[in-house]
Structure formats: structure tokens, C-alpha cells
Structure 1
Amino acid sequence: MLKPFDTADMQRWGKGLTRPEDVAFSRDGRTFATDPEFGACEILQDGSLLRICETPRPGCCNGISMDLAGNILIANLGAHHGVPGALEKLNPETGLREILLSEVEGRPLTSCNYPMADSAGNIWCSNSTARANFAGLAETRPHDGFIFVLRTDGTSSVVAEGLGFANGLAMSQDEQFLFCCQSFDSNVIRYPVLPGGQLGAGEQYGPLVGNIAAPGARADGLDVDCPDGCAFDQEGNLWVALYSSNKIVAITPSGELRTLASDPEGKILRRPANVTFGGPDLCDVYIGGLGMDYVIKLRSSVPGMPLAHQR
């Protein structure tokens, strides 16, 4: 049974990180955290940090995950700094960092947010906005975000659009549905996955995860619940990080919204962005955050759902 957490359950781990948006846990037990300029760094077992790539690249590395070959997939949220964003990969053994895709169907990728691979090797990724920079974005809240797919045959296409800041992604255990956090609307959208790497029509999954910003107000104020990243556990609960209100919530399979952790003053859980399950039993929970120089590590009563590269 899923149990809530207290801040006393949370351990600061990997101190010295910069804007650790996300954490990725490899099949062989290694832990990686986002490094905005350099892609990702490894958090060693003693909590120390090892930089993988020594060459910085413009932009802002955001969500990370693993592909089936063990490479680190990187979503470059370039528009955060007014530069192009792209889907990239980083070889954790050699430090080689490559661009996989910089445009889709003639559309430039400006703000790749979160990438993930399915069991066939297709890579799905959100692009938060079509805008080239974030100036005024939180106030105007355009619905110009989209999801794209890079298939194993090298083709790519936009598979969903019209999203209010397309953010974190998750896939159901059977890979029949793709889920996307929509930050500006404080909800999660669910899409049926169709043959050939396509998506069907989306619908809201579960209730709103919290408060929506009033018209004209900033979409990321402390009184607003902006969903960022999400992940499933093995009981089918979808964990969602609410970065503006310092909360972790879960949408249960029955559609109930449960608060798992709340730190209104941000004493330790500060702008949480993503939830990742790791450890030998997948009961270790890693929480990345925009306002922390560490990631949070804690134990869950329910193991996480293994991702495609962990199966």
C-alpha cells in the first residue's frame, strides 16, 4: 500500500549539483543526474559527483532517461536560455554527446523537456513550447507545446500538439498509453499509443492535480500546482511532481488524488521536478528539483514500474 512521506524521510544526496531537474537509473545500477551545461553527471555510491562530458553546450539540459543501449537521453530546454533546444544522447562510457534531432516536420525543436524510450526503441519526447524563448511565457500561457517521436527507422513526426507547456512523460506498463503533464492546465493528458509510433486523441487522466493560475497571473506561482514530471509505481499509481507548490502527489488507478509529500516552505523539497525509481528493488525514490543543489533520496513502500531499459 502506498504511504505518504514526511520531510524527515528525505535524504539530501549528490550535493553540489546545479539545477538537477531529473535523475536516471541505469540497468546496471548507476545513478545519473541532470547537469544543465554538460548533459549529465554520475552520482557515485558515496554521494560524490563524476562529470561524464567535459565539453559544455549551449542550452539547458532538462529531463533525462536511458535508451535501450544504455545511453543517456537528454532533452535540451534551449528556449529557457533563448537558444535552440534539441533531443540529444550522451554515452556514459565515452562522454560523447550527440544531437539526435533538432527539428521535426520542419518545426525547430526549441524546448525539449523530457525524453523516454519504449521497449521497441522508439524515443518519445515533449517540446514545451514553439516559442524561441520563455519571455512572458508564464503569464500568457500559450498552448503550443507538442509531443514528437523518433522511431527506430529514423523517421520522426509530431504525434500530439496544442499542449499548455508539455512537460514530463510516462508510459503504462503495457505501453498502450502515453501520459503527459500539462503544466499550464494543472493536469495530465493520456493518449492511446497506436501502431507505427502514433498517438490517438488525448483526454484528461484523473482529476486536476491542484490549483490553476488565475487569468493574467503567473502559471508558476507558489499558490499554483504546476505538474512537472511523472512516473508509475507497480500498483499503477502515477506519481506527479508539482514544482511550484513543493509537493509530490499521486493519481491512483481509481482516479483519486493523494498527496504523498508536501513542503510548503521548501525546507528540503524545493521546486521538485521529477520522480525516478531505482535501487535493486526499485523502492529507492529519487526526486530532482529546480531549487536544490542535491537530489532527494527516500524509500517507497511500493516499488516503481521498471522502464523499458530496466526490463
Structure 2
Amino acid sequence: MTQANPLDGFSVERAQIGYVGNELQRPECILAEADGSLWSADARGGVVHIATDGTQRFIGQSADTRFSAAGSASVAQMESRLTTGTLPNGLAFCADGSILISNFGSDRLEVMDREGRTRTLYDSIDGQPIGKVNFVLRDSRDRIWLTVSTRVNPWTQALATGVRDGYVAVVENGRLRVVADGFSFTNEVRLDAREEWLYVVETTGPCITRLRLDESDPAQVRLTDRQLFGPAHLGGMPDGIAFDAYGNLWCTLIMVDRLVAITPEGELRTLLDDGDAAASAHLMRRFDDRSLTSEDMQRARGSIAPWMASITFGGPDLRTVYLGSLLGTRIPFFRSPVAGLPMVHWRAPK
């Protein structure tokens, strides 16, 4: 007998949405730990740690002088680089508990310890500037997956034109290399439960693409069998994704501020629609005919998690859902009928 999908008949009840955190700035990405605490990216240049009792602490990035050496940049130069244009975006935990940061402002992949000491891991690839770094993910083999949305400057032009110059890179055996490219504004990526497929958000696709992991060469992973997953047009621009334990891929649609899920069979289900209907419809018309403006984007937003950007499963049973946003100052949460797929920092390594 086929197991019923736990999302059958489910939608998010607004009256059951709670909030955590206050005076946050651009809580785009959220990490949840098994003890119930949360870590949120913050536009002030760091992260906010929200403890289980609700108390919170902003941890600003500072240069890690332990990695400065003779002939390297001075501490003052390192500090300047960290404070100029920094905008933490995607976050992931290293095996030792430090935090990987894909810095959307400075175009770098960084690592920060829990006191804020930060160093740059990569700011170029194949001798060229790395581009608009967006998201970072660590897998059970301790590989780091990195997405770069575009190399267009200013990057906002990529949203309007739909240019396909985004790519996915991987850090493996101490080397960063491109493993797939030609994406429409690459955003978040996730691996399925068996780490057989990598799912890639193409924000201006607007769709989800997946690629199979080829592990035949023990020295380096390859991505093959590229294919569309779910509808070719999601009805909004996808931003963040996360799997639940059943295999549904939950997805935020930014600006139209809709939370949807794609079932294992590829069916699209709407779980929460918090957008302004008229502004959302106008936004997508302008998006589809490639005439989108910043004014169109500014008008389109909801009130729960304005510019809904990410989704995170947490809580002791992984059934509490947290929503990240670009314009919010707190983090909404609600209960799910199904647990989330545990992130790698919840699981023992292979």
C-alpha cells in the first residue's frame, strides 16, 4: 500500500504562526540546532544567535588574526575587507561547529567561528572573481557546495534579463571547482536523503533543476543527468528549499511570498499564500515579459515573512518550520505534519 503524503489536506493556519527574535536585519538564512537554538544571517555583518529561552546575541564578523602571517595583509586591511560591503547570505555549519558564510556583499566564501573571528576561504575561481556568491551547503562527506547566482555586474540586471550564467561549485580535497553551470540565477541547493541528487533553485527560471551525483571517480564528484524537477514555471521566483522526511521539497517564492511544496511525483502544492494578489500578479507579468523593475519588486510583499527567502526545519522533532526573509525583523514559525529531513549537522558523518 502506498503511504499517504503527510501534506495531503495541509495548509498553514495563520492563527497558529508564532514569532521568534526581534530587531533582526535581513534574516535571510536560518540554521537550527538540535538543542533548539537558531542562528540567523544578519545584514549588520554577522549572525544572530537565538537561544532556547529566546535571548539573542549579535555576533559581528572580525578578522581572524590567527591566520595573518608575515607578508600577508595587515590586520587593518583584513578588518576593512570584512566591514566593507559584507552581507552574510547562506549559512552552513562546519563539522567543528564554526559557520560557513556565503557573503552576498563581498563575493566571498568565508568561515566564522562562534565568536565572530572570520577568514576568507575563496574569493576567486580559476583565476577569475568568483561572482555573486549566494548559498553554501556541506554534505556528509564534508564537501562544500557553493552557488554563484551570476557574474553580471550589477547583479540586479541578471534578475531582469534572465541571463543564464549562474553556476554550482564544490570544495573537494582542498580545491574549489565548477561542477555545473548555465543556471538562471542559482540560489539554494539541497541534497536528497541518500545524497544521490542535488536540487538547484533557478530563481529566474523560475524552476527547480536536479542533477545526479556521479561518485565513480573517488577523487572528484561529477554532476550528470540534469533535469527539471516539478513544474517548468513555479508561479513565482523560487529562493529557498528544504526536504521533509517524506520527500516533499518545500520552497519559498520570494516577493509573491508564497510557500509551496513539490511532491516526489512533481506535483506543486500551495501551503501558504501571504502575498498581495494584485502586486504579485503584476510582478509576474513584468517578470515573464522581461520588463521587471525595482519598483515592481518593492510593491510585492507579504506581512508574515516579507520577501520570504528560506525555510528551515527545527525543534527536537524537526517539525517546527522557520521562515527566513529579506525584509523581516523577526522569524515566523509553525508546526508541520511531517518532520524535516535532518541536515548534515544533525547526523553522524559517513
Instruction: Tell me if TM exceeds 0.5.
Output: yes
Q: Give SS of 2:60's match.
A: coil
How far off its partner does 1:51 sit?
A: 1.4
Within 2, Cα distance between the matches of 1:267 and 1:51?
A: 24
| 2:178 paired with 1:167 | no
Q: CA RMSD in A?
A: 1.6
In the alignment, is the contact (CA less than 8 A) between 2:257 and 2:273 conserved in 1?
yes
> 2:253 is aligned with what amino acid?
L
Within 2, Cα distance between the matches of 1:294 and 1:48?
A: 13
How far off its partner does 1:135 sit?
A: 4.3
| 2:73 paired with 1:89 | no
How far off its partner does 1:182 sit?
A: 0.2
Give CA-to-partner distance per residue, 1:267-298, whole Å, 9 cap, x none: 21311101011111101111100121111111
Please name the residue that 2:342 is paired with. 306
Specify every segment of 5 or more residues in structure 1 that has no aligned partner in the other structure, as ranges. 79-83, 212-224
Within 2, Cα distance between the matches of 1:48 and 1:65?
A: 22
> 1:164 is aligned with what amino acid?
S
Please name the residue that 1:101 is paired with. 122
Please name the residue that 1:119 is paired with. 140
| 2:180 paired with 1:144 | no
Range with bigger deviation, 232-241 or 109-118: 109-118
- Cα pair distance change 1:167/1:86, threshold 3 Å: same
Please name the residue that 1:30 is paired with. 37
Give CA-to-partner distance per residue, 1:289-311, whole Å, 9 cap, x none: 01211111111110000011111
Query: How many aligned residue pairs are there?
Result: 291
CA radius of gyration, larger in: 2
In the alignment, is the contact (CA less than 8 A) between 2:61 and 2:117 conserved in 1?
no
Please name the residue that 1:18 is paired with. 25
Specify every segment of 5 or more residues in structure 2 that has no aligned partner in the other structure, as ranges. 1-5, 63-81, 277-301
How far off its partner does 1:260 sit?
A: 0.8
Q: Give SS of 2:329's match.
A: coil
Q: Give SS of 1:8's match.
A: helix
Q: Give SS of 1:137's match.
A: helix
> 2:263 is aligned with what amino acid?
T
* Aligned partner of 1:191 among 191, 207, 211: 211
In the alignment, is the contact (CA less than 8 A) between 1:67 and 1:116 conserved in 2?
no
How far off its partner does 1:114 sit?
A: 0.9
Identity over aligned residues, as a percent?
33
Larger relative helix fraction: 2
Within 2, Cα distance between the matches of 1:54 and 1:115?
A: 17
Give CA-to-partner distance per residue, 1:164-190, whole Å, 9 cap, x none: 100011100100110111011110010
Please name the residue that 1:4 is paired with. 11
| 2:70 paired with 1:50 | no
- Cα pair distance change 1:70/1:33, threshold 3 Å: same
